[in-house]
Structure formats: structure tokens, C-alpha cells
């Protein structure tokens, strides 16, 4: 078979599909929007800050893609339902990336801080999963991609509530995958390792902390948001047509290797 006529060449083609990316104004969400558009998707760029979402959409259009912007506070159920419901045509892909963290020992965490993390990371994810899941189930197809974290699997001091929300989001994604499989809707989660985003800026500002995380990764560095795009495009595309209920780990070996001590060999 000639390479140009192989059906496998179109596995990652997203032409004609519409994706809603929540958190598209910066970081991983911005990169995901750019990647989906590069493979042909029309991308609705949603963010709690409208101007960054508009900037992302403008970037997509400047590179020949299809992009539009909308303001969305994912912690407000009515807003999520409205935005999901107003996406023109079919909603083929949902990517949900927003998260917040309060780094404190559990014994020092206030109720307000606990509620802030849970409201965005867990409840916001629930609102997005539910609204998109209902629409995709009704249309008989779709791919939901929820961002979890390596903290859904391993934790460190000061990350208790963040880790709990990321583990909870993963389990919600798995449950929805089981519930919507008969409707031809796939639901998967992605677990990044350490990524240079606005969320991790406080660590980057501490050279010793930043370097310690870099050295824990097997390639000795942090990830760029663009390095998460491959997982998103894959899970959105027909290349992952038999993939649901999974956790795709993009962590430079963080979960695979015990890096606290390197024994003399």
C-alpha cells in the first residue's frame, strides 16, 4: 500500500470536529487549543478571563485555524451548561484543564482554602463532565479529556487536598467512561508531571525547589505545555477510538522511578 493512500494517515485528523477547551487562556489549555486547531478542529476557547481566551482564538486564526472565545467560570454550573449548550453543531471534544492549589500542611489548611481547591478542581470538573457528557450522549459520540495529575497517584507534604481532588477527578472520569461507553462517548484523563505553567510559577521562582523537581524527572527538566499536546490530540482523535477510562501519564518517568535516593552501583 502506498503511504499516501493508507487510512492510517488520517488517524489524527480532526477536520470537521468541534472542541471546547476549558482553560484555554494560558498554560496547558492554551497549548491544547493550538494543537487541536493545528489538526483541523474548530476550537471554542473558554476561560474565566475572556481576554486571554480571545488572544488564544486569535492565534489559532492567525495560523489558519478556526477559533472563537467565550468567558466561562467552570465553578458555576449554570455557566458551564450554557456554554456547552451553545456550542454550534456537534460537540466532539471537551478538554478541561483548570486547577488551583494551596500548598499547606493539612493541619494548617482553613475551610475556605479547602473549599477553594475543591470548588475548582473537583466540582468544576464535575460540572464540565456532566454538561458535556449529557450532550455527547444525546448525539451518540464524543471524547472527554480531563486533566488530572501525577498527584492522583503520589503525593508530597502540602499537597493533600490538591491530590485528593486530582484523584477524585480521575475516578469521576473513569465512572463516566463506564456509564457512557454504551453511548459511544469516550472519557479519559491525562496526568502531567511538572509543567511550567502559571500554576507552578511559585516553584519556578525558588531555584532550589525548581531544580529538585527537574532532577526527579528522568530527562532532568520540566515539561513545557506544548509537550502535553500529543496526548490531547491522540485522545481526541480516531487514533484513540478504542481508548476509554484510562489515565495517560506524561511525566518524564516520575511515577516509574523512585528518585529520593540514588544508591551507589
User: 8, 162, 213, 234: which one is catalytic?
Assistant: 162
Q: How many CB atoms lie within 10 A of CB 187?
A: 28
| CA-to-CA dists, residue 16 to 66, 122, 139, 215, angstroms | 10, 31, 15, 42
Establish whether 162 is a catalytic residue.
Answer: yes
- Tell me how far apart the alpha carbons of residues 172 and 122 are, in angstroms, rounded to a whole number: 9
CA 49 to chain centre: 17
Per DSSP, what are the bridge partners of residue 218?
A: none
- Tell me how far apart the alpha carbons of residues 233 and 224 are, in angstroms, rounded to a whole number: 16
Active site members: 162
Amino acid at each position: 500500500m502506498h503511504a499516501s493512500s493508507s487510512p492510517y494517515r488520517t488517524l489524527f485528523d480532526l477536520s470537521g470536529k468541534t472542541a471546547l477547551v476549558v482553560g484555554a487562556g494560558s498554560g496547558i489549555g492554551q497549548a491544547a487549543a493550538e494543537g487541536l486547531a493545528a489538526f483541523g478542529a474548530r476550537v471554542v476557547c473558554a476561560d474565566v478571563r475572556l481576554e486571554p481566551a480571545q488572544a488564544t482564538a486569535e492565534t489559532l486564526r492567525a495560523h489558519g485555524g478556526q477559533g472563537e472565545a467565550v468567558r466561562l467560570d467552570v465553578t458555576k454550573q449554570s455557566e458551564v451548561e450554557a456554554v456547552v449548550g451553545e456550542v454550534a453543531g456537534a460537540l466532539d471534544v471537551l478538554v478541561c484543564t483548570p486547577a488551583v492549589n494551596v500548598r499547606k500542611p493539612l493541619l494548617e489548611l482553613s475551610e475556605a482554602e479547602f473549599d477553594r481547591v475543591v470548588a475548582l478542581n473537583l466540582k468544576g470538573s464535575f460540572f464540565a463532565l456532566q454538561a458535556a457528557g449529557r450532550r455527547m450522549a444525546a448525539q451518540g459520540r464524543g471524547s472527554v479529556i480531563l486533566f488530572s495529575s501525577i498527584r492522583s497517584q503520589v503525593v508530597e507534604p502540602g499537597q493533600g487536598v490538591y491530590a485528593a481532588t486530582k484523584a477524585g477527578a480521575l475516578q469521576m472520569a473513569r465512572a463516566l467512561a463506564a456509564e457512557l461507553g454504551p453511548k459511544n462517548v469516550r472519557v479519559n484523563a491525562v496526568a502531567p508531571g511538572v509543567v511550567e505553567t502559571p500554576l507552578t510559577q511559585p516553584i519556578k521562582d525558588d531555584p532550589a525547589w525548581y531544580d529538585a523537581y527537574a532532577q526527579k524527572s528522568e530527562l532532568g527538566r520540566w515539561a513545557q505545555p506544548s509537550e502535553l499536546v500529543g496526548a490531547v490530540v491522540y485522545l481526541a482523535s480516531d487514533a484513540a477510538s478504542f481508548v476509554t477510562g484510562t489515565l495517560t501519564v506524561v511525566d518524564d518517568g516520575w511515577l516509574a522511578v523512585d528518585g529520593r535516593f540514588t544508591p551507589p552501583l
